[in-house]
C-alpha cells in the first residue's frame, strides 16, 4: 500500500500531552457503518461491547527504558533500551544483553564501561549500581548491543527500575512527571519488557473490567507482546511492502488460544484491546487457526490482510503514515477509518498515546 494514502491533517494542539483525569473520562468514537458514528466516553464501553464477548488484553509491562549514564570522563550518554536478547553469567554475575539506541555529545566507543544513574535521593535506600558496556552495533537492525550488570547488590531489573525513566513518546513535549509511572502503564500490566505502552489499555480501569464481566458476561484473556520499535518506528518507504519491521517478542498461551477457538465456535466476538493485541493474535494464527505461540514477530498488517482471529478492535488514534494506522485501516476499511479520523479531528478528539479511543468492528471494504 502507498504510505501517502494513510495521511491526514492533524492540528498539533490535538496531540494529548497528559492523560484524562481518570481513565474512564476519555472520549470514545464508536465507528458504525458509513458515517454513522457515535460520540461517547470510555465509561460507555460496557454498553457497546457485545454480550459474552471475549476481550483479549496485552499484559506487557513498560520498562523505565530511558537510562542516563556517564563515562569516566564525566561525559553524558543516553541509552534507550529496546529489546532484551540474552541473559548470561559472566564472572559469576548475571549480565543482560540488550539492543538499544544510544546518544552522546561525542561518538560512542565500543567496550567502555558506563555508570548509570546518580546517587540516591535523601531518605531513599541506596539502589544497586547499574553499569552498561556498549559491545557492538547489530548488523541486523543497526541498533547498539549493550551489556547491563550491577555491582552485585540487587537484580538488574531492580537497578533499571531505580535508575530509568518512563519512555514517553517524542510527541509528548514535556518532562516525565511522577504520575506517568502509573498512567503510562495499564492496570493489568504484568510481564516486564515493553518500551512503550499498549495505549488502548490505558483507558481500562479495574472497575470497567469488572463491569464488562459482571454486566455483559464477557470473558477476559491475555497475550503478551513487548511493544518496541517494530510498532512505533516511522515509515520512510513510499510503499509499506518496502518497510522493514523490527522484531517484537510475543507470547500467546495455550489457555488464550483455546479461549479464542471456543469463542469462534460459539459465535462470540473476539475483541482486541489495542493493535499490539491484534498483532499477537494474528501472529499466532499464521497457520489459519490460532495456536499457542512464543517467539518474535515482524508481522506488518496492511489493507488486504485477511484477519483470522479478531472481530472487534478498541484502539487509540494513531500517527499519520504509520504501521498502526495501516493495521486499523486493514481492519475497518481505509475509507471508513480515515472518515472516522476526520470526524475525530473535527470534534476535537485528543490523539495518540494519552488521547481518546475508538471502537470498531471488522469492515469488508478495502
- For 206, the enclosing helix (H) or strand (E) is helix 206-216
> Does residue 169 belong to any structural domain of this protein?
no
| Whether residue 235 sits in one domain with residue 339 | yes
| Whether residue 128 sits in one domain with residue 77 | yes
At residue 122, the pLDDT reads 45
Cell numbers at residue 152, please? 552485585
Cell numbers at residue 312, please? 472487534
At residue 152, the pLDDT reads 84
| Whether residue 315 sits in one domain with residue 186 | yes
Examine the fold and report which residue of 107, 130, 163 is the final residue of a domain before the chain moves on: 163
| Whether residue 351 sits in one domain with residue 324 | yes
DSSP state, 119? P
DSSP for 173-196?
-S---TTHHHHTS-TT--EEEESS
Cell numbers at residue 25, please? 473520562
pLDDT digits (tens, 9 = 90+) for 130-161: 999 999 998 877 889 999 999 888 889 989 98
| Whether residue 142 sits in one domain with residue 251 | no
How far, in Å, CA of 281 to CA of 163, rounded?
A: 33
Q: What is the CATH number of the domain that holds 186?
A: 3.40.1780.10
Examine the fold and report which residue of 163, 195, 220 is the final residue of a domain before the chain moves on: 163
> Does residue 170 belong to any structural domain of this protein?
no
Examine the fold and report which residue of 163, 188, 223 is the final residue of a domain before the chain moves on: 163
Considering the entire predicted model, what is its pTM?
Answer: 0.92
> Does residue 24 belong to any structural domain of this protein?
yes
Please state the domain count of the chain. Answer: 2
| Whether residue 104 sits in one domain with residue 54 | no
pLDDT digits (tens, 9 = 90+) for 227-258: 987 666 778 899 999 998 888 999 999 999 99
317 or 126: whose pLDDT is higher? 317
- The residue segments making up the domain with residue 114 are 66-163
Percent of the chain with pLDDT over 70: 95
Residues whose CB is less than 8 angstroms from the CB of residue 98 and which lie 6 or more positions away in sequence, other chains included: 81, 82, 83, 84, 85, 145, 146, 147, 148
Average pLDDT, the chain: 92
At residue 104, the pLDDT reads 85
At residue 154, the pLDDT reads 83
pLDDT digits (tens, 9 = 90+) for 189-225: 999 999 999 999 999 999 999 999 999 999 999 999 9
Mean predicted confidence (pLDDT) in 168-172 = 93
Would the pLDDT of 121 be above 50? no
> Does residue 175 belong to any structural domain of this protein?
no
| Whether residue 70 sits in one domain with residue 39 | no
| Whether residue 190 sits in one domain with residue 133 | no
How far, in Å, CA of 48 to CA of 37, rounded?
A: 12
| Whether residue 217 sits in one domain with residue 294 | yes
| Whether residue 81 sits in one domain with residue 217 | no
| Whether residue 82 sits in one domain with residue 45 | no
| Whether residue 343 sits in one domain with residue 235 | yes
How far, in Å, CA of 43 to CA of 359, rounded?
A: 13
At residue 33, the pLDDT reads 79
Amino acid at each position: 500500500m502507498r504510505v501517502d494514502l494513510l495521511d491526514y491533517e492533524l492540528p498539533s494542539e490535538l496531540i494529548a500531552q497528559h492523560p484524562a483525569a481518570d481513565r474512564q473520562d476519555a472520549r470514545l468514537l464508536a465507528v458504525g457503518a458509513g458515517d454513522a458514528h457515535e460520540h461517547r466516553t470510555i465509561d460507555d464501553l460496557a454498553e457497546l461491547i457485545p454480550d459474552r464477548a471475549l476481550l483479549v488484553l496485552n499484559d506487557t509491562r513498560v520498562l523505565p527504558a530511558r537510562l542516563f549514564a556517564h563515562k569516566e570522563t564525566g561525559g553524558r550518554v543516553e541509552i534507550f533500551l529496546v529489546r532484551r536478547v540474552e541473559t548470561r553469567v559472566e564472572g559469576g554475575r548475571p549480565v543482560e544483553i540488550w539492543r538499544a539506541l544510544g546518544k552522546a555529545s561525542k561518538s560512542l566507543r565500543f567496550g567502555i564501561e558506563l555508570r548509570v544513574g546518580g546517587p540516591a535521593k535523601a531518605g531513599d535506600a541506596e539502589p544497586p549500581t547499574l553499569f552498561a558496556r556498549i559491545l557492538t552495533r547489530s548488523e541486523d537492525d543497526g541498533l547498539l548491543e549493550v551489556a547491563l550488570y550491577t555491582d552485585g547488590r540487587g537484580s538488574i531489573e531492580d537497578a533499571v527500575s531505580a535508575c530509568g525513566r518512563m519512555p514517553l513518546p517524542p510527541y509528548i513535549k514535556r518532562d516525565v512527571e511522577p504520575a506517568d509511572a502509573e498512567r503510562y502503564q495499564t492496570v493489568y500490566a504484568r510481564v516486564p519488557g515493553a518500551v512503550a505502552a499498549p495505549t488502548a489499555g490505558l483507558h481500562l480501569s479495574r472497575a470497567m473490567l469488572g463491569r464488562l464481566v459482571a454486566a455483559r458476561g464477557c470473558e477476559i484473556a491475555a497475550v503478551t507482546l513487548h511493544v518496541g520499535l517494530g510498532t512505533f518506528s516511522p515509515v520512510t518507504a513510499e510503499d509499506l511492502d518496502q518497510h522493514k519491521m523490527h522484531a517484537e517478542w510475543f507470547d500467546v498461551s495455550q489457555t488464550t488460544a483455546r479461549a479464542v477457538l471456543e469463542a469462534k465456535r460459539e459465535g462470540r466476538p473476539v475483541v482486541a484491546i489495542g493493535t499490539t493485541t491484534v498483532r499477537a493474535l494474528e501472529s499466532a494464527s499464521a497457520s489459519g487457526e490460532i495456536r499457542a505461540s512464543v517467539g518474535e514477530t515482524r508481522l506488518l498488517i496492511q489493507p488486504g490482510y485477511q484477519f483470522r482471529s479478531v472481530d472487534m478492535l478498541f484502539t487509540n488514534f494513531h500517527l499519520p503514515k504509520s504501521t498502526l494506522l495501516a493495521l486499523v485501516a486493514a481492519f475497518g476499511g481505509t475509507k471508513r477509518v480515515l472518515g472516522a479520523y476526520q470526524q475525530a479531528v473535527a470534534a476535537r478528539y485528543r490523539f495518540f498515546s494519552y488521547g481518546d479511543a475508538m471502537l470498531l468492528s471488522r469492515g469488508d471494504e478495502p
